[in-house]
Amino acid sequence: MIHEQLQYLKNTKLLGAICGSLLLGLPFIPKIASAQPAEKPAYCLDDLYQEPLNSMVRVPPGCPANDYTQEVDIKEELETEANTRQMETDTNTGQYKPSGRVGVIQPPMPTDQMRAMGNINVNGDTVNVTLNNDTNANITYQVIGHTNDRLLSGGNEAELLNLPLPITITVQREDSGLIDINKNQVSEDGEVSFSLEEEGNSSASQLTIRIQEDGTIFAY
């Protein structure tokens, strides 16, 4: 009887050793949590991440940074650090006296940065746009995703027909001057004209016309 019990214990230990070795041989597979990508706000337009806007326009707060935004942020950070190092201590009061601008200038909120210019009646999924160059300089314009850069000389106009919505148009003066985009006329059959005029205020200058699928017009 004792001999049989000893033999049973030996068999049990042998089985446990075999199972343990099998478990040690199994690869460890970590459980990876699947993270859902965060959705961009509606005002983070895809055009802001494509050329030429990718290297020309700063994105609104809350949007992923494009190349231009990253470049501006780095410059402002370096400027802030330089101003911080220049802060002088008032030996009499023991208070700090900043010698320059401290802090980072935040871009305007989307409602301020994107100027609403009304609506156009959309009868289909296309619009006709006329650009009038009312400056004394040549202006380069481009319909994003549809045309290359085109030249519009001062005092002339360009007609862009059957543009599919939504559509984005960029404008830029060859002399690097400022542009004020104004809506001239809107017809009931999906046509709109814009006047590109001289602008003296850098904060009011625009480079882009955006027409949404519902006909809403923005300039920024």
Look at residue 189 in the predicted model and tell me its pLDDT: 78
* Alpha helix positions (H), the chain: 2-25, 67-85, 110-113
| Distance of alpha carbon 46 from alpha carbon 210, whole angstroms | 12
Tell me: pLDDT of 178 over 80: yes
Model pLDDT, residue 168: 93
Q: Where residue 88 falls among pLDDT bands split at 50, 70, 90?
A: low
The one-letter amino acid at 14: L
pLDDT at 220: 86
Choose the most confident range, by mean pLDDT, from 18-22, 32-36, 90-94, 182-186.
Answer: 182-186
pLDDT tens per residue, range 113-129: 677 888 888 878 899 99
CATH 3.40.50, domain 114-219, yes or no: no
Residue 198, pLDDT > 70, answer yes
Question: Among 81-85, 98-102, 209-213, which stretch is predicted with the lowest mean pLDDT?
Answer: 98-102
**CA torsion angle for 43, 45, 49, 52 (degrees, to 10)?**
-110
> Is residue 105 predicted with pLDDT exceeding 50?
no
Q: Does the pLDDT of residue 34 top 80, yes or no?
A: no
Contact 133, 154 (CB under 8 A): yes
**Domain boundaries defined on the chain:** 44-108, 114-219
